[in-house]
Amino acid sequence: MPPQGRLTAERAALEMVAAWMGGRFYRTFRITDDIPDSVDAILAQRDRQIGVTISTLWDAESDSEGRDFSELVASDLLDDDTGGYAVWLPPGAEIPIEEPARSDLRLLLSGGMRGLQPEERREVRIPVTLQLAKIQTDGAYVSVTGGLSSHWTTISEGIDGAFHLDSRPLHRLPEEAAELDIIISRVRDRAELLSAEEFTEVHVHDYWLVSRLPAASPAGVTMVTAPPDLDPKDGVPIRRSFRRAVQRAMEQRRSTDADLSVLVLLGALAHIEDELATAALKGMNPASYGALDLIVLVADGQVRQVLQPRSLPWEQDRNNA
């Protein structure tokens, strides 16, 4: 784990999990400074110690660009804003290095953070441009690459001609169905204006997510970002990273005297409903993770339980009383 005062993606995940466990188990969990070398973090619950392993569901790399951009976004927040924030980059998205796109993104993200209360999350609209071409007058369909590919049938309904839509600039679709309808309607409206072998631009929004961390979190901004070539729908690398994380957590469990063992997984997902960690767990031999008490996934500004504890130390104490 990084130093106590530094806000990183791993520290943001730990803060979120501590708050989530407090709400789920009706206990207070405090992040401690006294961390043995055998574990990533320790949560204290009265006199009990919870050992925490934190792993990413991708091959972690040094992200100096993300840290530099985080500092720029943090500098745009109000001087009296002591909150901790996370930017959850959608899979495939990258921080622009050219101006004015870089500064525009910086201002949009910092503006989206203003007014957030602890543990709230918000979508931020990022302007993007799609490319739409009419291939021929025959046919009634739109072939789609990129973020709207799963909605090609809806886009094609009643369309006159054959089209191709390049929606690769869209990395995360909105959570609200009405917002998605606006994007699809804009594409269809532009399609009606095209003749064969003509193309046009379609101006829409990508929906990035920002969240404010629990109240006691270190101040600042962190970027939760995976390598841009990571495909979160490809189960092979996800399962490989998951097994590696479980093995590491099991090793830490064996070498740490803790009352509860927790594995925290950081995922790169457009929406947490797309997660494959639960399926990866079901495909493993239970003996390979049997010593772990709780596995949770942190992604898209949310926490999701992957493995439920079979028993809890405070329940055992009550039963023995």
DSSP 209-241: EEEEPPTTSPSEEEEE---TT--TT-HHHHHHH
| Structure confidence at residue 3 as a pLDDT band (50, 70, 90) | very low
Q: Residue 213 pLDDT more than 70?
A: yes
Note whether 102 and 137 are same-domain residues: no
Note whether 218 and 191 are same-domain residues: no
Number of neighbours of residue 207 by Cβ within 10 angstroms: 23
Mean per-residue pLDDT, 168-187: 97
Note whether 183 and 316 are same-domain residues: no
- Which amino acid is located at 121 in the chain? R
Note whether 249 and 145 are same-domain residues: no
Note whether 87 and 35 are same-domain residues: no
Hey, what are 212's tokens? 């404010």
**Is 82 within a domain?**
yes
Mean per-residue pLDDT, 144-173: 96
HSE value, Cβ hemisphere, 13 Å, CA-based, for 154: 13
Indicate left, alpha or beta for 130 from its phi (over 0: left) and psi (-120 to 50: alpha). Answer: beta
pLDDT digits (tens, 9 = 90+) for 229-284: 888 889 999 999 999 999 999 999 999 889 999 999 999 999 999 999 999 999 99
pLDDT digits (tens, 9 = 90+) for 79-118: 777 899 999 999 999 999 999 999 999 999 999 999 999 9
Note whether 106 and 93 are same-domain residues: yes
Q: How many domains does the chain have?
A: 3
Beta bridge partners, 164, equal 133, 143
Q: Which domain holds residue 150?
A: 124-207
**Is 4 within a domain?**
no
Exposed, middle or buried: residue 177 (CB in 10 Å: 0-12, 13-18, 19+)?
exposed
Which helix (DSSP H) or strand (DSSP E) does residue 52 occupy? strand 48-56
Note whether 215 and 109 are same-domain residues: yes
Note whether 244 and 313 are same-domain residues: yes
- Computed over every residue of the chain, the mean pLDDT equals 92
Mean per-residue pLDDT, 11-35: 95
**Is 265 within a domain?**
yes
Note whether 234 and 307 are same-domain residues: yes
Indicate left, alpha or beta for 298 from its phi (over 0: left) and psi (-120 to 50: alpha). Answer: beta
pLDDT value of position 149: 95
Q: Residue 317 pLDDT more than 50?
A: yes
Residue whose tokens read 């500092």:
71
**Is 1 within a domain?**
no
Q: Which of 224, 254, 282 is the last residue of a domain?
A: 224
Note whether 189 and 288 are same-domain residues: no
**Is 56 within a domain?**
yes
Helix pair 101-113, 64-75: axis angle to 10 deg: 60
**Is 151 within a domain?**
yes
Q: Residue 36 pLDDT more than 80?
A: yes
**Is 296 within a domain?**
yes
Note whether 179 and 309 are same-domain residues: no
Mean per-residue pLDDT, 24-51: 93
**CATH number of the domain within which 286 lies:** 3.40.1350
Beta bridge partners, 175, equal none
pLDDT value of position 80: 72
**Is 3 within a domain?**
no
pLDDT value of position 2: 47
Note whether 19 and 100 are same-domain residues: no
pLDDT over 90 for what percent of the chain?
Answer: 82
